[in-house]
Structure formats: C-alpha cells, structure tokens
Amino acid sequence: MIEKSFYGKTAGGEDVFLYRITNHPGSCVDLLTYGATVDRICVPDKNGDLADILIGFDDIEGHETRSNYQGQTVGRYANRIENGIFSIDGVEYKLTQNEKGKTCLHGGGELSHSVWKAIITDDNAVEMSYSSPDGAQGFPGNVDFRVIFTFSDRNELKIDYSAKTDKKTVINLTNHAYFNLDGEGSGDILGTELKIDADRFTPTDADSIPTGELKDVAGTAFDFREPKPIGRDIGADDEQLKMCKGYDHNFCLNEGDGPAVTAYSPLSGRAMDVYTDLVGVQLYTGNFLDGSRAGKGGKPIEKHAGFCLETQFYPNTPNTPSFPQCTVEAGGKFESTTMFKFYIRK
C-alpha cells in the first residue's frame, strides 16, 4: 500500500511530497521527492517492535539546511572528483568545487537538493525522475535520471537507478542513507557488526582522493571479511583512519552472488544484507557529525550516530584509468541496482 501526502515547501516555493510504502507485515519506507530521499525505514527488532533505523530530519527545512546528504540520492557523480576536473576525449570539464573549495563532492549536490517528479508504478513501488541540463555543475550532457524504489513483503528495499545521456559523460549514482540498526536516536553505531566482502580498499590522500593503490585489507583495520564491530579498530594507529577520524573509504567488492555487506546489531537483533551490481561500497561512519545539527525529534546528530554504505564506482574514477570506468556514451544508458534486505537474527 502506498500513501501520498504533502510534506512541505522548499525555500524556493516548490512542493515536496512524501510517499509511504507499507508492506503486508506492517513495515514501511518513507520517500521524499526532495532529493529522491529515503526518509524513514521502519522495521521490527527481535521483540517485534518497529523503529525507524535512519538518521535524518522531520521537515523540509532540516533536509535543505542541515543535511549531510542523509537518505538522499547522490550524483551525477557520487563521491569525489579530484580538483573538480576531469577530461573526456581530450576535452577538460571544470566542475563545482563544493568541498573545501577543491574537490567536487557528490556531483555538486545537484540531484540531492532538487525536487524530483514521482509516480506510483505498483502497490509497492515509486518511480522518481529528474532531468539535468548539459553543463549542470560543469558536467557534460543532458541527462534524464530515474530511480525506482520497491519495498517488498520480505522487507527488501530495492533501488533501481538509470540515466540516459545525449553526450558522452560520467555517471555514478548511489543513496546516502545513514543507518542505525538500534533505531534512530538510540546512540552510536560502534557496536554494530559489519562484514564486507572485499579483499582490497582504496587508500586516500588528505583530501580523501584515492591514491590509485588497491591495498590488501589483510592485517589492517580495514579487514571486515569476517564480522567485527565497527568500533573494534576504528581508533587504530593507522594514518588512513586518523586523516578521516574513522572510516570514510571505498572497499573494492569481490565478485559473487552473496551480499556485498552484512550489518548486524546484537542489541536489537536487526540485520541488513546489501546486494549490488556495482564494484565498490563506501563505508562512512559519521565521523564528522558533531552534535551541532538537530535531527529527528530535535535531537542533536552526534558523532557515529549512523553509518553509510554507499554502493558505487570508486571515487575519482574519471582521473584514474586503472579503476573500473563509469563513462556512458552519447545515447547510452547507465543502469544499476542495489538492494537492502532487513531481517531479524536471534
């Protein structure tokens, strides 16, 4: 069942709507047309109690003025492009440098801070669309984006991304949900256990740009091949962790049919499997959240209040030929699917 309701007006006067998908067991997902945002995910814990497991905001003003991309669709190019510059076929493109006046982060925020059109396509699916003009944030091509959100009776949230372009360009889309499997506002996520199916990760420089190396996780704090609490090694004597004040790194996913990531909270019993057809996932542990911004219920969003698992192509791919590329030809199409499966582990 899907219910549509008015959520609010942006500062620019655009109407924003909320779509709530409720499945037969009673779990629900809230979607906003602002930023094609996953606003809430309410699923049961080991006692059968429903709770919202996403960090975010209660109103449009919060999403517009206090957000660190909480729940938003991110692109044209998710993550970072070094110095906001890349080239295609010898043509250099200069992008919005919206992080420290240097890097282009999350495509300059265009998709995340725009109002999308939405239609209900099934009793459990909503399709959102947005058209970005040639030259937006410096990127080439008129690009039509579509994201379909489907929430099943098995508590599976599937996100299908697609984009069509009329000019050769780069496209890398993800969702920036901040998860807390104990429930929003319940404390930090350092006790949550993670397993990441990745033998390697991409170390970064001081600007969080990959150095180009694919480093083995074996013997490092980045080894999540067996489940371990997020907080076990987050304070390790590792320059990569010190620079980012925790994890904010891309993991190079192994090929296979199983989940790319599994997260589990021993406290609530909630577990989450992440499946994707993309080559990487960015683990971010909310290192720069500092309590200065009010979230849901007016509560401050503290450090490590949530963790992100952003399925993606590697950061700065257009400037790193050795990485798997995400260039889309003129007239071509980008397509990708990521699924989050929620369940109870007793």
Closest CA to 235 of 287, 198, 185: 287
User: Can you spell out the DSSP letters for 205-255?
Assistant: -TTS-B-S--EE-TTSTT--SS-EETTSSTTSS-HHHHHHTS-EEEEEEPP
Which residue, 39, 249, 73, 261, is CA-closest to 171? Answer: 73
Of 158, 144, 172, 14, nearest to 79 (Cα)?
172
CA distance 346 to 343: 10
Cα torsion 290, 217, 106, 330 to 10°: value is -170
Is 304 designated active site?
A: no
Annotated catalytic residue, options 63, 110, 127, 176: 176
Q: Is 249 a catalytic residue?
A: no
- Say which amino acid occupies 31: L
Question: For residue 146, how many C-alpha atoms fall within 13 Å in the half-sphere facing its CB?
Answer: 15
Q: In this structure, what are the phi and psi dihedrals at residue 157, rounded to the nearest 5 degrees? A: -100, 110
The torsion of the CA quartet 40, 112, 116, 295, rounded to 10 degrees, works out to: 30
What residue type is 273 in one-letter code? D
Rounded CA separation 293/261 (Å): 29
Say if residues 21 and 38 touch (Cβ distance below 8 Å): no
| Catalytic annotation, residues | 176, 310
